[in-house]
Amino acid sequence: MKNPSEEQSSMQEKKGVSRRAFLRGAGLTTAGTVALSAGLLSFKLEDAKAPPAILGPGEAEVRFVVNGQARTIWVEPRTTLAEALREHLSLTGAKVVCDRGSCSACTVWVDGKPVNSCITLAVDVSGREVTTIEGLAQGDELHPVQEAFIEHDASMCGFCTPGMVMSCAALLKRNPNPGLEDVKLATSGNLCRCGTYPKVFEATLAAAKKMKK
Amino acid sequence: MIRCKTSKEIGGMGHSVKRKEDARFIQGKGHYVDDIHLPGMLHMDIVRSPYAYAKIKSINAEEALKIPGVLAVVTGKDLEKYNLHWMPTLMSDTQMVLPTDTVMYQAQEVAAVIATDRYAARDGKEAVIVEYEPMKPVIDPHKSLDPGAPVLRTDKPGKNDNHIWHWEVGDKTATEKIFAEADVVVKEQMHIPRIHVASIETCGCVADYDKVNNHLTMYMTTQAPHAIRTVIALVAGHVGLTEEKIRVVSPDIGGGFGGKVPVYPGYVIAIAVSFLVGKPVKWVEDRSENLQADSFARDYHITAEMAGTKDGKILATRFKILADHGYTDASANPSKFPTGLFSIGTGSYDYGAAFMEADAVYTNKPPGGVAYRCSFRVTEAVHAIERITDRFAFEIGKDPAQLRMENFIKKEDFPWKSPTGWTYDSGDYHAGLLKAMEVVGYEELRKEQAEKRERGELMGIGISTFTEIVGAGPSRDFDILGIKMFDSAEIRVHPTGKAIARFGTKSQGQGHETTYAQIIAEELGIPAEHIQVEEGDTDTAPYGLGTYASRSTPTAGAAAAVAARKLRDKARKIAAYLLEVSEEDLEWEPGKFFVKGAPEKAKTIQEIVFAAYTNHPLGMEAGFEATHYYDPPNLTFPSGAYICVVDIDKETGEIKVRRFVAIDDCGNIINPMIVQGQVHGGLTQGLAPAMYEQLIYDEDGNILNGTFMDYLVPTAVESPNWETGHTVTPSPHHPIGAKGVGESPTVGAPPAIANAIVDALSHLGVTHIDIPITPFKVWKILKEKGVAQ
C-alpha cells in the first residue's frame, strides 16, 4: 500500500492563481464583485473565455461567476460542473444522484438557464455565470419558490429538493403565468422518489401568483 | 374534522405545523453523507462482477496501482487475514463482504480501490483486471430446487440444495376441509416482482477511524444507527473495536424506504480500510450500483386461493409462496417470522380459516430483500388478498364493493382475532369504503362503465380495502439479532422552558423534527417551535431500533408522549408547591396548571420548569428531564379504502389513471399536512410497481434495466391527481391513539390499480394480470382477444 498524500490533488485556487489576484486582474474589488450586477461581471469574464484548443491532460483553469462571485478553480478537464461545485467550491446543495442526466437532482443555472451539472463539464462554463441553490435567495430573503416549498410542504427527504427548486424557479423566470401542465413539464426531468409532485405543483403555482403581486 | 386541544401557538396534535427541516432543504443546506468532507479523507470505489456466477481465477491490481492517486486495491484475501471477509445478515444467514474464490451475482463486490479522490478511485476500478471462469447460474427460482440444479451455497457445510427455509401458519386441516366442500373456489398465480426502493440518495458512508484513541466514527446512510453500532461491535469486536469505541452518525438521509436498514459490504470494507490506514474513507455507491447490487424488495411468487359460497360469503383462503432471496437471505426483517408479517394476508374480512405456507430459495441474484415502504411482506400479502377477493367477486358475478361490504369485520367486533393469530386493534372498514364510494361517485361510475362497454370502450374501477400491520413491535415477536424492538425518547427541558428531545429512530423524509415536537407540545404545552428534535447520533440519542415499518409514531412517538407525561406529573408536584395547594386541587390545560374553581391562580409550564431549576420543592430531584423506552403492547392496524378508475386505449393498451380516491384510517393524526404528503408519496410508490417498475434479469443473470434511463421511477408527468381523505379510528392501546401512515398507500395502491385494469378487461374473460401492468401487456391481451386491430 502506498502512502496516502496528505493533501488531495486539484484543490481549488492552486498554481499561484488566487481568487484575490484574479479579481485584481479583472479590475474589481471583492466588495465590488458582490455589489456589481452579474451582467457586468460576465462581460468582464469574456476575456477568460477563449480556452486553448486542447485541454489536459493536466489541470485546466476555469474562471467563472458562481452565485455572483468570481471564482477560479483548477480542475482536470473531465471534471463535471457538479463535481467542481461540490468538491472544489464546497457548494454541496446540488446533488449527484444518477451522474448521467436522468434525474436532475444536480440542476443549477448556467447563464440563467437550468442545466444538469452532472453532464456539464466545468471547463465548459468558463466565463459564464452559474447560480446554485445556495445563491437563489437574495441575502436573507428567500426566493418565492423556496418560501412556497415550505408553505406547501413540497419537500420530504430533501435530496431532490435543490434541483426541484432550481427547475421550478427557472420556469417562473421564463414563464410568469404557468399552468399545471407547464409545471409538470418543467419538473418532468426531476425525479422525486418520495413522490412530493402534487405539492411541488401547488407550491410553484402559488409562487407564480405571489411573484405577480 | 380534526379538533385540536392545543392553540395554534402551541401547535400540538392536529395542527398543520410547517416542517422544521424544510428551511435547510430548500436552501441546499441539508447535510447528507456525500456532503461530508474530512481532512485527509480517502475515496473508495468497488470493482464488481460482470457475471452472475463465476469462479475468480485471479485479480491483478498492477495497472490500477500505477494510476496517480490510487493507493491500494483490497480483495477478499486481504480481508480474510482479519476474518472480515464474511458477515452475518440480519436474518442470521451469511454474506460475503468480498469474495475469496466465487462470485454469486452480477454486480457483486469483487475488490475495493482506495484513492485520494473519487475520479482516481474510478480510474483504478476500471484498471483492475479480474479473470473469471463463468458458470451456469440459477436464475429462475422455480428451477432452483430442481434435482439437477447446482448447489449454490457450498460455503455451508452439509448444504445439498438451494432451499433456505419453510414456513407455515394457520389451520391446514380446517382450511383444506372448507376448500374441499366449498361451492366456489378461485385460484390465481401471481408474481409480485422484484423491485427496487431506488431512494434518490444512494447508500454510502464515511468511516473515520482514529488510531490514537481507538475510536470509530461511522457517518452512514442508515435507518437504524444504534442497531448498526451493535452489529459493528459484534463483527469487529475481535479486532478491538468494542461498542463504546463506536459512534454511528446518520445525518440527513435522502430517502430510505427500507433500503437503508441492511448492512452492505461497502460499509464493512470502508470500516476495514479506515481501521487499517487510520484515515477517513468515503464510499458512496453510484446509481447503477445501487439499483443492481442492493435494496431489492418483493419477488414473491404466490398461488392464491379463496373458497366461498355462491352468494358471496368468504369462507377460507390458502396462499402458497415461493420466495426468491437471491444469493443469501439478507432480508431486513425484524420479526420472528421468515415471511415477516405476510400473515396479515387474511385481510379486512371476517372468516375463520386460512393457511399460508412459504419456501425460500437461493438464486444467483443480488441478496435481499428489504421491506420497501411496508411492514415486512405486507404489500405482497395485501396484493394477494385484494386481488383474489376481486377474483371471487367476478366468479360469482357480484359487485366487488358489495362483496367487501358483506364480508368486512364489523366495527363492534374489534379487537378481532385473525385466523393467523393477530389481534387487530381497531377499525371501521364499512365507513372507509362508504366514504370512498361516495367521493368517487361509485354508482354513477358503474353506469358509465356499462354504457362505455356497450360502445366498446374500456374503463375499469378497482377497489382495495386493505388492513396494514405496523409499529414493530412487541418484544415477544420482534427483534433484530435478539435486540427487542422497543423505541425511545429523551426529553430535556431547559430552565427557560425550551426543550431538546432525542430519539432512537431516524427520519428519512417523514418530518420527525416537526411531528415529535408536536406530540411533546400536545402533552406539555410547550410550543412545538421551542422543541428541538435530534436523531441519528448514537453518542447522544437513547438506544432505539430506527425508522422503518411505519414504526416511528407507534413506538418512538408513544415514547415521546409517555416521557412527556412523566414530566407533566413532575410539573403538577411543582405547581402544587408553588401555588400552595394539594396536587388534587390542580387542573391541567395545555400549557398550565390552575387551581380548580380559581383559574386565575395558575402556573404556566414555563414558570414550573424554571422552578424545577431554581426553586424546586425540598426532597425533589432538580431539573426537568425524562426518558422512556416504549415496548408496544400490540401492533397497530391502519386501514384504507382506495378506489381507482382507469381508461384504457383499446388500440394501444395505454392506461390512464383518471381518478384515484384514497381514504386512509391511520388513527389520530398528528400533522394533517405531513400525513397528506406521506399519502401522496406512498401512492406514487404504489403506482410505480403497479404500472412501471420491475428489475428484469435475463437467463444468464444479467440485469437488463439497472439505470434510471430504463428502471422507470414515476415522474411528475405520470403522477395522477390523488384525492385523499380520512376516517379516524384511534388505536385503543397507543398513548396518543395514532397508528402510523407512511406505508399504507404503498401497500394499498397496487391492488386498487391492478383491480381497475383487470376490471376494464374482465368482460373479455381476463381474470388476472401480473404487475407491473404495462401498455404492452394490455395491448397483447387486446390483440389476442381481437379487440385491438
Report pLDDT digits (tens) over B352-362. Answer: 999 999 999 99
8 Å CB contact of B719 and A197: yes
- Per-residue pLDDT at B720 exceeds 80: yes
Per the CB < 8 A criterion, the answer to whether A88 and B26 are in contact is no
Q: Look up B476 and say whether it is catalytic.
A: no
d(CA B684, CA A154): 14
8 Å CB contact of A5 and B28: no
pLDDT band at B505 (very low <50, low <70, confident <90, very high): very high
* SS3 category, B248: strand
Of all residues in chain B, the one with the smallest CA distance to A188 is: B716
Residue B286 sits at the chain A interface (C-beta within 8 Å): yes
**What's the grid cell of residue B555?**
413506538
8 Å CB contact of A201 and B40: no
d(CA B524, CA B543): 23
8 Å CB contact of A93 and B509: no
Q: Quick check: ipTM above 0.85?
A: yes
Cα–Cα distances (Å) from B120 to B69, B70, B114, B125, B787, in that order, read 6, 6, 9, 9, 57
Interface test with B, best of A12, A100, A153, A167 (most B CBs within 10 A): A153
Domains B22-30+486-630 and B33-135+203-284 agree in fold:
no
Q: Look up B449 and say whether it is catalytic.
A: no
pLDDT band at A24 (very low <50, low <70, confident <90, very high): very low
HEC assignment per residue over B53-107: CEEEEEEECHHHHHCCCEEEEEEHHHHHCCCCCEEECCCCCEEECCCCCEECCCC
Residue B311 φ then ψ, to 5°: -90, 5
Query: Considering only the top CATH level, what class is B296-408+423-472+634-784?
Result: alpha beta
Report pLDDT digits (tens) over A4-13. Answer: 443 333 333 3
Of all residues in chain B, the one with the smallest CA distance to A93 is: B28
**What's the grid cell of residue A118?**
452532472
8 Å CB contact of B117 and A10: yes
Q: Is the CATH number of domain B33-135+203-284 3.90.1170.50?
A: yes
| The pLDDT of residue A32 | 34
What CATH number should be reported for the domain whose range is A136-213? 1.10.150.120
Report pLDDT digits (tens) over B166-190. Answer: 999 999 999 999 999 999 999 999 9
Of all residues in chain B, the one with the smallest CA distance to A80 is: B119
* SS3 category, B15: coil
Contacts of A12 in chain B (CB under 8 A): none
Per the CB < 8 A criterion, the answer to whether B460 and B449 are in contact is yes
- Per-residue pLDDT at B141 exceeds 60: yes
| The pLDDT of residue B635 | 96
Interface test with B, best of A76, A194, A205 (most B CBs within 10 A): A194
| The pLDDT of residue A49 | 53
- Per-residue pLDDT at B282 exceeds 90: yes
8 Å CB contact of A150 and B19: yes
8 Å CB contact of A4 and B40: yes
**Across residues B433-448, what is the average pLDDT?**
98
Q: Is the CATH number of domain B22-30+486-630 3.30.365.10?
A: yes
d(CA B12, CA B521): 5
Closest residue to B509, CB basis, from A83, A185, A194: A194
Of all residues in chain B, the one with the smallest CA distance to A2 is: B71
Q: Which is catalytic among the residues B48, B229, B373, B387? A: B373
| The pLDDT of residue A52 | 65
- Per-residue pLDDT at A22 exceeds 50: no
Sign of CA dihedral B744, B745, B746, B752: positive
Q: Which residues contact B583 (CB under 8 A, 6 or more apart)?
A: B572, B573, B576
Contacts of A75 in chain B (CB under 8 A): none
| The pLDDT of residue B437 | 98
Domain ranges in chain B? 22-30+486-630, 33-135+203-284, 296-408+423-472+634-784
d(CA B369, CA B329): 7
- In 3D, which of B198, A175, B705 has the Cα closest to residue A187? A175
Residues in chain A: 213
Q: pTM for the complete prediction?
A: 0.94
Residue B683 sits at the chain A interface (C-beta within 8 Å): yes
pLDDT band at A51 (very low <50, low <70, confident <90, very high): low
Contacts of B683 in chain A (CB under 8 A): 195
Residue A102 sits at the chain B interface (C-beta within 8 Å): yes
- Per-residue pLDDT at A31 exceeds 50: no
8 Å CB contact of A137 and B27: yes
**What's the grid cell of residue B83?**
476474518
**Across residues B552-576, what is the average pLDDT?**
97
| The pLDDT of residue A50 | 56
Sign of CA dihedral A136, A139, A145, A150: positive
Q: Which residue has the higher pLDDT, A50 or B453?
A: B453
Architecture of domain A57-135: Roll (3.10)
Closest residue to A165, CB basis, from B26, B200, B509: B26
8 Å CB contact of B28 and A133: yes
Contacts of B684 in chain A (CB under 8 A): 195, 197
Of all residues in chain B, the one with the smallest CA distance to A201 is: B716
Q: Which is catalytic among the residues B95, B106, B108, B223? A: B223
8 Å CB contact of B22 and A193: no
Report pLDDT digits (tens) over B361-375. Answer: 999 999 988 999 998
d(CA B332, CA B538): 20
Per the CB < 8 A criterion, the answer to whether A165 and A145 are in contact is yes
- Per-residue pLDDT at B341 exceeds 50: yes
Report pLDDT digits (tens) over B736-746. Answer: 999 999 999 99
Report pLDDT digits (tens) over B227-269. Answer: 999 999 988 888 889 999 999 999 999 999 999 999 999 999 9
Sign of CA dihedral A164, A168, A173, A174: positive
Contacts of B116 in chain A (CB under 8 A): 4-5, 8-9
| Percent of chain B scoring above 70 in pLDDT | 100
Contacts of B119 in chain A (CB under 8 A): 76, 78-79, 83
Q: Distance from A69 to chain B by nearest Cα, in Å?
A: 18
Contacts of B202 in chain A (CB under 8 A): 97
Residue B733 φ then ψ, to 5°: -100, -5
Least confident of A54-68, A104-118, B603-617, B645-659: A54-68
- Per-residue pLDDT at A15 exceeds 50: no
Residue B81 sits at the chain A interface (C-beta within 8 Å): no
Q: Distance from A25 to chain B by nearest Cα, in Å?
A: 31
8 Å CB contact of B28 and A162: yes
Strand pairing partners for B629? B488
Residue A167 sits at the chain B interface (C-beta within 8 Å): no
- Between positions 13 and 42 of A, the ones with CB within 8 A of B are none
8 Å CB contact of A142 and B19: no
8 Å CB contact of A146 and B676: no
Report pLDDT digits (tens) over A96-130. Answer: 999 999 999 999 999 999 999 999 999 999 999 99
pLDDT band at A55 (very low <50, low <70, confident <90, very high): confident
Contacts of A207 in chain B (CB under 8 A): none
| The pLDDT of residue A33 | 37
- Per-residue pLDDT at B381 exceeds 90: yes
| The pLDDT of residue A72 | 96
Contacts of B199 in chain A (CB under 8 A): 157, 159, 193
d(CA B333, CA B325): 13
Residues in chain B: 789
Q: Look up B374 and say whether it is catalytic.
A: yes
- CA atoms in the 13 A half-sphere facing the CB of A166: 34
Closest residue to A5, CB basis, from B116, B509, B684: B116
Q: Look up B287 and say whether it is catalytic.
A: no
d(CA B453, CA B763): 9
Contacts of A196 in chain B (CB under 8 A): 677, 680-681
| The pLDDT of residue A34 | 35
Per the CB < 8 A criterion, the answer to whether B195 and B296 are in contact is yes
Contacts of B709 in chain A (CB under 8 A): 100, 102
Closest residue to A188, CB basis, from B68, B685, B717: B717
Interface test with B, best of A67, A116, A157, A192 (most B CBs within 10 A): A157
Q: Which residues contact B576 (CB under 8 A, 6 or more apart)?
A: B582, B583, B585, B586, B593
Of all residues in chain A, the one with the smallest CA distance to B40 is: A6
Q: In what order do the strands lie in the sheet with B70-75?
A: B70-75, B109-115, B42-48, B281-284, B204-210, B215-220, B246-249
Least confident of B94-103, B467-476, B602-611: B467-476
Residue A107 sits at the chain B interface (C-beta within 8 Å): no
8 Å CB contact of A197 and B684: yes
Residue B122 sits at the chain A interface (C-beta within 8 Å): no
Helix (H) or strand (E) holding B393: helix B378-396
d(CA B272, CA B86): 12
In this structure, the strands spanning A129-131 and B625-630 are: unpaired
| The pLDDT of residue B1 | 58
Residue B273 sits at the chain A interface (C-beta within 8 Å): no
Residue B529 sits at the chain A interface (C-beta within 8 Å): no
Q: Where in chain A is the domain with CATH 3.10.20.30?
A: 57-135
